[in-house]
Amino acid sequence: MTYDEVRPWARSIKQRTATREMPPWFIEPDVGVQHFKNDPSLSAEEIAMVARWVDSGAPRGNPADMPPPREYLDRTEWAIGEPDLIVEGPEVLVKAVAPDYHRELGPVPTGLTEDRYIAAVEVKETRLDGSAFRKEEDQGMNLFTLHHAGIRELGFDMDAPDGFYLIYEVGQNETVYPADTGVRLRADSALTYTVHMHSVGRDIPVRVDVGFKFHPEGYQPKYSQSGYNAGLVGGSNVREDLALPPGNDSIRYDNFQTMSQPGILTTFEPHLHMSGDRMCVEALYPNGYREILNCSGYDHNWVRTYVYEDDHAPLLPRGTILHIMGWYNNSETNSNNIEPRNWKTGGNRSVDEMFVFLPKITLLTDEQFEAEVARREALQLGATTNQQND
């Protein structure tokens, strides 16, 4: 990307950064945890600097001060680096014009001969005809056929404390697990794929590939992690009874789940659809204290998984109730909305709506939880002491 390519977009850059549409990071900055491993957002000072640059005519500046050109990954490269294992999903022919495609695919053997612990995982849509990911300008079709995929180890138990299960959504970034947390992929395992695909205006043969980076052989984790709802009881994290009236820009739904054992919330991930506007999660602790963990805006073109920094990931004692709040905008003010004159209901199609919270939770024993609380308190005390000494 060059200056000449960027310069015509200067005023748009100012507008998009000022409203925090770009970079795509929707965590609200004035509430909840603000420490994330994958935060690309701009500070207020950086946004002001961009505005001053644009207002002064977006000058090129001194070529001697120019940083080296940024290199972007192409579709054949992996953000996690070269995977230790790639599992190629079954081929699917997505027809040019067809209803949404929902299927259970596989199982596909992983080829592992021993148990391995996953450090990072990434999912790709691979086009087998070599075609580009582009919009059909005359048809208004999407770039990608894959809307989402639930990828799990064959025989996986959703309530098990360990094992591999991942929900992938279009545009989602790679998943990097905490260094002390083990997600196990077993020897002689196989993967199944629950896929939702849709047409892009031409016949396309595709498959879903999963790339794994493993911890070194012999690695033993301190904690284990598993399915996204392991440890949560008292209902589902999915609401299917959605009914959004037309023209309404502030429609709210709520849900509640309870921690059956202590845990660490390692990610925050809302999943709504085109009318989705915002999600907040509040923790109602057993001692009566309540706290907003995070709120984030939502743009279905930029599905984000927000990964907490290890020392700031929320600690949830046994009995904590997670209060999940979702807002929808089914009006003309929502540029993503397909048809604001219609009622919207819950469903699996791309044009339907969803209400899903997709957390990753590291489950702890009572002893591990108490030890982690003590460690955090010691860190906080040390930080306070250092500030006073400064």
Query: Rounded CA gap, 99 and 377, in Å?
Result: 54
Query: Is 305:296 a contact under the CB 8 Å cutoff?
Result: no
Task: Say whether 232-367 and 85-225 share the same fold.
Answer: yes
Distance of CA 191 to the CA centre of its chain: 21
Query: Rounded CA gap, 331 and 296, in Å?
Result: 20
Query: Is 91:195 a contact under the CB 8 Å cutoff?
Result: no
| Pair of tokens at residue 146 | 């894959």
Query: Rounded CA gap, 371 and 153, in Å?
Result: 31
Query: Is 257:305 a contact under the CB 8 Å cutoff?
Result: no
**Distance (Å) of CA 182 to CA 141, 216, 343:** 40, 12, 44
**Nearest CA to 256 among 194, 209, 322?**
322
φ and ψ at residue 336, rounded to 5 degrees: -85, -10
Query: Is 43:306 a contact under the CB 8 Å cutoff?
Result: no
DSSP single-letter state for residue 70: P
pTM given for the model:
0.86
Per-residue pLDDT of the chain (390 residues; tens, 9 = 90+): 788 889 999 999 999 999 988 999 999 999 999 999 999 999 999 999 999 999 999 999 898 988 888 787 777 789 999 999 999 999 999 998 888 888 999 999 999 999 999 999 999 988 887 655 454 443 444 567 888 899 999 987 766 667 798 988 877 888 888 888 889 999 999 999 999 988 888 888 999 999 999 999 999 999 887 655 656 665 556 788 999 999 999 999 999 999 989 999 999 999 998 899 999 999 999 999 999 999 999 988 888 889 999 999 999 999 999 999 999 999 999 988 888 999 999 988 778 899 999 888 888 999 999 999 999 999 988 776 666 566
CATH topology of domain 85-225: Jelly Rolls (2.60.120)
Query: Rounded CA gap, 341 and 23, in Å?
Result: 31
Q: Encode pLDDT of 28-49 as tens digits.
A: 999 999 999 999 999 999 999 9
Q: Which residue has the tokens 């070194």?
A: 216
pLDDT at 233: 63
DSSP single-letter state for residue 162: S
Distance of CA 217 to the CA centre of its chain: 28
**Nearest CA to 221 among 264, 158, 269?**
264
Number of residues assigned to the chain: 390
Query: Rounded CA gap, 324 and 283, in Å?
Result: 9
Distance of CA 326 to the CA centre of its chain: 16
Query: Rounded CA gap, 290 and 283, in Å?
Result: 6
pLDDT at 338: 81
Query: Is 164:85 a contact under the CB 8 Å cutoff?
Result: no
| Pairing, β 146-153 against β 165-169 | antiparallel
Query: Rounded CA gap, 299 and 24, in Å?
Result: 9
Query: Rounded CA gap, 185 and 116, in Å?
Result: 5
CATH topology of domain 232-367: Jelly Rolls (2.60.120)
Query: Is 262:363 a contact under the CB 8 Å cutoff?
Result: yes
| Pairing, β 243-244 against β 146-153 | unpaired
Buried b (16+ CB within 10 A) or exposed e, 21-32: ebebbbbeeeeb
Annotated domain spans of the chain: 3-65, 85-225, 232-367
